[in-house]
Amino acid sequence: EIVMTQSPATLTVSPGQSVTLSCRASQSVSLDLAWYQQKPGQAPRLLMYGSSTRAAGVPARFVARGSGTDFSLTIRTVESADFAVYFCQHYNNWPPYTFGQGTKLEV
Amino acid sequence: DEQLVQSETVVKQPGESLTISCEGSGNTFATSWIAWVRQKPGKGREWMGVIYVGDSDTKYSPSFQGQVTMSADKTISTAYLHWTSLQASDTGVYYCARLKEMSSPLDSWGQGSLVLVSS
């Protein structure tokens, strides 16, 4: 099973700052990596897939990159709507597809 | 986009059986894969398995093989997750989510079903 490790667990920032979240896979997942955003009491929302492609309606301030085992999600100029939990997930090698533990972005 | 609506919160006792549901409202449900994801209190997300709604082909994660049963009825655009005998350790939030194809991201999610197993 591929283990996905996210860091940091919590990130404290102020609106207007830029932040970078990290996701590392225990073995290569090529470009088969997605990022999701989840706010309290809400369903997760797909943000990015194919390592760097934004899902429909995702603002351009979200930028993702990476391949193989190391991936990152950068939020340029954090807005109040961005405070949430972000988690990564690979879909490269079944079984199973696995998730990272998540990074909580807080004010 | 496929919208997924899940059954509501349920409280059960250990040993009881349970089926929760996930209903799709778009026109792609019958040709979608539906995944089930568990999130236990204070823990991360775990991929339980996936089912292809069109022919009910199922793929279970090793940790969940034999513990739950996934099924689907394409005629009513609904997927199901079933337990025959619940345990307290099954307590958690269960999400259904859609994949367009097997190796693709989860592009639509249900709102989650809270399952509380307690005596």
- Position A11 confidence tier, pLDDT thresholds 50, 70, 90: very high
- Domain containing B100 equals 4-117
Mean of all residue pLDDT scores within chain A = 94
Cβ-contact A65, A49 below 8 angstroms: no
The answer to whether residue A64 scores a pLDDT higher than 80 is: yes
Using an 8 Å CB-CB cutoff, list chain B residues near A42.
111
CATH number of the domain bearing residue B113: 2.60.40.10
Mean pLDDT of A28-42: 94
- Position B60 confidence tier, pLDDT thresholds 50, 70, 90: very high
For chain A, the domain total comes to 1
Q: How many angstroms separate the CA of residue A46 from the nearest CA in chain B? A: 6
* pLDDT at residue B17, as a whole number: 97
Mean pLDDT of B3-14: 95
Q: Please state, in angstroms and as integers, the Cα–Cα distance from residue B3 to each residue in A70, B23, B53, B98, following that order.
A: 32, 8, 15, 9
Q: What percent of chain B has pLDDT over 70?
A: 100
Q: What percent of chain B has pLDDT over 90?
A: 88
CB pair distance less than 8 Å for A91 and B62: no
Distance (Å, rounded) from C-alpha B7 to C-alpha A27?
A: 36
Q: How many angstroms separate the CA of residue B59 from the nearest CA in chain A? A: 8
CB pair distance less than 8 Å for B59 and A94: yes
Mean of all residue pLDDT scores within chain B = 94
Which is more confident, B42 or A65?
A65
SS (H, E, C) B7-74: CCCEEECCCCCEEEEEEECCCCHHHCEEEEEEECCCCCEEEEEEEECCCCEEEECCCCCCCCEEEEEH
* pLDDT at residue A95, as a whole number: 80
The answer to whether residue B1 scores a pLDDT higher than 80 is: no
Which is more confident, A86 or A41?
A86
Q: What percent of chain A has pLDDT over 70?
A: 100
Which is more confident, A95 or A2?
A2
CATH number of the domain bearing residue A78: 2.60.40.10
* pLDDT at residue A51, as a whole number: 87
For chain B, the domain total comes to 1
- Domain containing A82 equals 4-106
* pLDDT at residue B42, as a whole number: 85
In 3D space, the residue among A42, A43, A53, A34 whose CA is nearest the CA of residue A98 turns out to be A34
CB pair distance less than 8 Å for B105 and A42: no
- Position A13 confidence tier, pLDDT thresholds 50, 70, 90: very high
- Tens of pLDDT, residue by residue over B16-36, are 999 999 999 988 899 999 999
Using an 8 Å CB-CB cutoff, list chain B residues near A49.
104-105, 107
Cβ-contact B32, B50 below 8 angstroms: no
* pLDDT at residue B95, as a whole number: 97
